[in-house]
Structure 1
Amino acid sequence: MSLQFEKVDVLIIGTGLAAVTVALHLPPTLSVLLVSKHERTSTNSDLAQGGIASSYLEPSSVDHERDTLVASKHAAEPDRVHTLVEEGRTAIQELERFGIPFDRDETGYAVGREGAHGQNRIFHVGGDETGRHMMATLRRKLPDHVTVMEHVLIDTLTKTDDRVSGATGFNGETRLHVQAGAVVLATGGIGGLVDWTSNCRSVTGDGLVLAAAVGARLSNLSRIQFHPTLLAVDSPHLVTEALRGAGAKLVDASGRHVMEQHPLGSLAPRDEVARELTDHTGPVYLDTSRVERIGERFPKLMATCVAHGIDVRRIPVRPGLHFHMGGVGVDAYGRTTVAGLYAVGEVADTGVHGQNRLASNSLLECWVFGKRVAAAMVVEEKPFTVNETTGFEVSDDLFGRYRQQIGEWLTISPHVGKIASFLENTQQLARTKHVTRQLSEQTLSLQAARLLAHAMIRTEDTYEQDCFTRTADGVST
């Protein structure tokens, strides 16, 4: 097998907003390599519809901080939340300096409202295509000392003298070795492990596996958020929460408001809405009759509904896997417990989301903590030593059956027996030294699923032990 070798100061695994933010804020004296498992646009950041939350227009960040903590079920870390919302007050101005044209109307910024927010503070670009527009603009701003490589799968981190010294993987089908003075995990979440998700199919928890293999601490892995409104058709499409912020209401087949008993109605926290819709008997729709200028404000939604022959005034929806609140444990600057290794974005457990993420805080988290990672970056070159790489020896058919099993328990209401069965079935998988890119990718997915399965069975914190039923956390028995 042919071998490609690269040497850089900083390797960033991922090309979403968290990765790009770090790259944009690193000094030009450093050589930086961003790698994407598929195309550089195959990220959850590019799919983001709702926008970015910020208290920029408010007298202070106090209300945003309170809303974040309440939505988290008071499980978020208050000091980290304060960092997020206070430093996030300047994010809109900073992004504008990079050329982001936030939507405006006759009164100024066209800010919207989403679930569990006490007021309008969601900034959009291009209506419901915020992520695509933001990422296209920011990627164009990447300076010359930053290189982006597509179709690169990283399967192993290397260590020398207890410090991460680089990574190995595949560039296409060519074996790749990258020596780096620091490595940043910005690999996203876990949604691609199942079919019914708002996430990119390629986002399969790779960063969790890479971090665990070199001894980094993982935390709160069982904290998983399900979005209430994915389009209820054969393939999943996210229906942005901003639609409810603009006046849409969740109704049943008879037109009754499904969330009428909740004080926030259809704008209740995501976990509570997702649970209600999961338990509801019969179909649920978004009644958009009160949404003004829906075609202008939600062009992506309109196009999707037209493509599927759906009346945009009455949109069928159901919950789906959306966001991972847990991940690689980091400090306030994205440093993991392993020297030279950083984590940022959805792969990291920054402590700002708790049991349930407040809508549109994810892009803000990428920006705020991405800047912090760049500020704290320490580059130290170490000799590059590679250990032998192995992968699970699984056929396409067997991997497909395992993936189906994952889809049966990585749901809003899994049964502990199905989780245990998956762990038992994958416990003694044979390994092979003849690793192909496909085997490596399948191995990472199965290892990530096993990490999540173990975490769910352990029921990591007292909140889960008290509930022992899954909304965004816990399992049923």
Structure 2
Amino acid sequence: MTTSSAGSAGPGDATGIRLHAPAPGWSLDSDVVVVGSGVAGLTVALRCAAAGAKVIVVTKAHLDDGSTRWAQGGIAAALGDGDTPAQHLDDTLVAGAGLCDEDAVRVLVTEGPDAVRRLIATGAHFDTDAAGTILLTREGGHHRRRIAHAGGDATGAEVSRALIAAVVDAGASHPQDPAADTAPVAAAAGTDTAAAAAAADDADASAEGSIEFVENALVLDLLTDAQGRTAGVSLHVMGAGARDGVGAVRAGAVVLATGGMGQVFSATTNPAVSTGDGVALALRAGAEVSDLEFVQFHPTVLWLGADAEGQQPLVSEAVRGEGAHLIDAEGVRFMVGQHELAELAPRDIVAKGIMRRMQETGAEHMYLDARHFGARMWAERFPTILAACRAHGIDPVTEPIPVAPAAHYASGGVRTDLRGRTTVPGLYACGEVACTGVHGANRLASNSLLEGLVFAERIAADVMAGTRPAPGEPVPPAPADAPLLASEARYEVQRIMTAGAGVLRSADSLATAAGALERLHTAAVEAYDRDGKTAEPCVETWEATNLGLVARVLVAAARRREETRGCHWREDRPDRDDRDWRRHLVVRLTPHGTLDVRATDGPALPATRPGPLPAAVTPAAGIGDDGAAPTLRRTRP
């Protein structure tokens, strides 16, 4: 590891490391391949298709199985009377604890309201009053009610439903299923007005785009051409169909929208598919990642017992926004006096407050008390949470909810610029897998869906700008010489990370975690060097290997950051240190499989690409100036 200043990578900086896998047995061609089908991935796909691109969306399970559908609280934007983007910016910067990229935040909050309106025009239905005005709530770190929600506490599910419907209803096809409707989605530039629809009918056929899906597919590695430019991805389709096993999708632009890496911990709010695949792929491809030490632990996750593992039920911050109180076993509101916003302080502060009280009292959890809501409010405003609690034998109408922090969101990820471009030419990242600089050291509540929307539109605009050189043929990769971890290593990684790099960290705990992870890695390497054998290539070993890599990066960065800031809490370094540590840590994987960890010179991240970057990017073709969504029309040959 080195302490020199971080800079941007250039073409040809790929590591040469890839996952062991059979050679691709089939291939597809497209202009753009999007990996992931949450809010970020589907928005990119829709906008690129609207501008005339042939898009293939690769998703690990079914279309709605990612993290987006689990977002309960809502989407933050300055939509209410008296609220402004400037106020939203201030709240975001405070939550980010000095490490937000202010330009990125300004993009988010100024372009956010119109992006939400375009989402509504696409078909998303938010909760409204009798007059049709969007209802807004408050969450931690927000000084105003600016959280739009749907279905009470099912915002992510509604956003996912609307975006999937916008594609499927328009005729998207599933190429791995021979029985699927193969009519493409043809997207004409324009708005949803009658005049624009007429203009779309007259559009040149060359401007029509299409979207296809490959479901139940785990992305493996990036394909590149002889110049080091992105040329597609390799992937493995799980299950029988027209295409199964390992294949390739060739494309000049690859957009990673794979979500988070919460499964690196034993207990998380993330679904089982969140195994850090996008970050791991990017690292092997030579891309830089940043801020991976800043893992947000949601303060109020339903406590199911000390030995609970896997995905845990979330109790949305919106419950506190509507007036619920955090209490200990004696009924004391322990957050009062710790922060001006008490229970509505930013998430890192509330999580730390809960952990401190647990340490002081020797308790395994605290309580969230919303008995004063009454049965009707619980049923109407928070039906999903109510059902989850009752399914586990807890009735929040009559008793406080036991809660404790659990891994929730990666504030860092693959480093991008304001166009979503990574340090690898042709590779983009968006959503939780990316580090745009918006979140800094701690994400402000409900900014995640907004980030996915805003930066997805910016990526689509850049992809469709027409200034990129066409990629050449993918260069056949050299034989893989890095071993896979055994499938059972997944649980060992989770145990190591939970014990040493969870909410509470120290030099000793992180050193122990680093040593244990290194022993896992070294044992696999030595066995491979000794007898040339590695774990059998399969979904379970690929996921374990990805988790092992992102865990090593997270721990390496957490060890280097010798302070407490945002959601990185060092018990041995309890103070924030702006003099030495108001800077980012940028990590790259070397061709030898080691990690190069570098600190930036200050709070600004280096450019990912040479040349100037405009402050604003025009939305992709097909998005009207009035904020309307593109008109999609179905055609058949």
TM-score with structure 2 length normalisation?
A: 0.71
Quote the residue 1:196 is aligned against.
267
Quick check: 442-451 or 174-183, which moved more? 442-451
Q: Quick one: which amino acid aligns to residue 406 of structure 1?
A: M
Q: Distance in 1 between matches of 2:38 and 2:504?
A: 30
Q: Within 5 Å, which residues of 2 pair with 1:62-101? A: 62-101=86-125
Cα distance change of structure 1 residues 259 and 147 upon mapping to structure 2, 3 Å threshold: same
Quote the residue 1:462 is aligned against.
none
Quote the residue 1:259 is aligned against.
335
What is the aligned length?
Answer: 470
Structure 1, gaps ≥5 residues long = 460-464
1:411 pairs, out of 477, 492, 502, with 502
Are the aligned partners of 2:80 and 2:136 in contact in 1 as well (CA < 8 Å)? no
Q: Distance in 2 between matches of 1:209 and 1:397?
A: 18
Q: Within 5 Å, which residues of 2 pair with 1:340-359? A: 340-359=426-445
1:295 pairs, out of 367, 370, 379, with 379
| C-alpha distance after superposition, 1:3-59 (max 9, x if no partner) | 121111111111111101101111442111111122222211110000000102244
Quick check: 327-336 or 201-210, which moved more? 201-210
Quote the residue 1:210 is aligned against.
281
- State the Cα distance separating 1:418 from its structure 2 match: 2.2
Name the SS of the counterpart of 2:251 in structure 1. Answer: strand
Are the aligned partners of 2:221 and 2:233 in contact in 1 as well (CA < 8 Å)? yes
Q: Quick one: which amino acid aligns to residue 358 of structure 1?
A: L
Q: Does 1:368 align with 2:454?
A: yes
Are the aligned partners of 2:487 and 2:544 in contact in 1 as well (CA < 8 Å)? no
Are the aligned partners of 2:299 and 2:354 in contact in 1 as well (CA < 8 Å)? yes
Quote the residue 2:136 is aligned against.
111
Cα distance change of structure 1 residues 441 and 104 upon mapping to structure 2, 3 Å threshold: same
Q: Distance in 2 between matches of 1:396 and 1:439?
A: 5
Q: Distance in 2 between matches of 1:328 and 1:255?
A: 43
- State the Cα distance separating 1:203 from its structure 2 match: 0.8
Q: Distance in 2 between matches of 1:316 and 1:384?
A: 53
Quick check: 211-220 or 128-137, which moved more? 211-220
Are the aligned partners of 2:263 and 2:274 in contact in 1 as well (CA < 8 Å)? yes
Quote the residue 2:85 is aligned against.
61
Name the SS of the counterpart of 2:368 in structure 1. Answer: strand
Are the aligned partners of 1:56 and 1:92 in contact in 2 as well (CA < 8 Å)? no
Looking at both structures, which has the greater relative contact order when contacts are Cα pairs under 8 Å and sequence separation is at least 6? 2
Quick check: 312-321 or 33-42, which moved more? 33-42
Q: Distance in 2 between matches of 1:82 and 1:21?
A: 20
Cα distance change of structure 1 residues 116 and 400 upon mapping to structure 2, 3 Å threshold: closer
Cα distance change of structure 1 residues 244 and 20 upon mapping to structure 2, 3 Å threshold: same
Quote the residue 2:193 is aligned against.
none
2:353 pairs, out of 276, 279, 282, with 276
Quote the residue 2:33 is aligned against.
11
Quote the residue 2:514 is aligned against.
420
- State the Cα distance separating 1:368 from its structure 2 match: 0.5
Name the SS of the counterpart of 1:290 in structure 2. Answer: helix
Q: Distance in 2 between matches of 1:476 and 1:159?
A: 43
Q: Quick one: which amino acid aligns to residue 393 of structure 2?
A: G
Q: Within 5 Å, which residues of 2 pair with 1:18-37? A: 18-28=40-50, 29-37=52-60
Which of structures 1 and 2 has the bigger CA Rg? 2
Quote the residue 2:205 is aligned against.
none
Quote the residue 2:236 is aligned against.
170
Are the aligned partners of 2:413 and 2:433 in contact in 1 as well (CA < 8 Å)? yes
Cα distance change of structure 1 residues 65 and 471 upon mapping to structure 2, 3 Å threshold: closer
1:38 pairs, out of 56, 61, 82, with 61
Cα distance change of structure 1 residues 251 and 286 upon mapping to structure 2, 3 Å threshold: same
| C-alpha distance after superposition, 1:167-190 (max 9, x if no partner) | 112111611112111100111111
TM-score with structure 1 length normalisation?
A: 0.94
2:147 pairs, out of 101, 118, 122, with 122
- RMSD (CA atoms): 1.9
Name the SS of the counterpart of 2:556 in structure 1. Answer: helix
| C-alpha distance after superposition, 1:68-114 (max 9, x if no partner) | 11111132111111110010121332111111111012463221100
Q: Distance in 2 between matches of 1:163 and 1:25?
A: 23
2:483 pairs, out of 392, 414, 422, with 392
Q: Within 5 Å, which residues of 2 pair with 1:180-259? A: 180-234=251-305, 235=308, 236-259=312-335
Are the aligned partners of 1:416 and 1:476 in contact in 2 as well (CA < 8 Å)? no
Are the aligned partners of 1:128 and 1:299 in contact in 2 as well (CA < 8 Å)? yes
Cα distance change of structure 1 residues 184 and 246 upon mapping to structure 2, 3 Å threshold: same
Are the aligned partners of 1:275 and 1:471 in contact in 2 as well (CA < 8 Å)? no
- State the Cα distance separating 1:399 from its structure 2 match: 4.2
- State the Cα distance separating 1:306 from its structure 2 match: 1.4
Name the SS of the counterpart of 1:104 in structure 2. Answer: coil
* % identity of equivalent residues: 37
| C-alpha distance after superposition, 1:452-477 (max 9, x if no partner) | 12222222xxxxx3x2x476125445
Q: Does 1:52 align with 2:136?
A: no
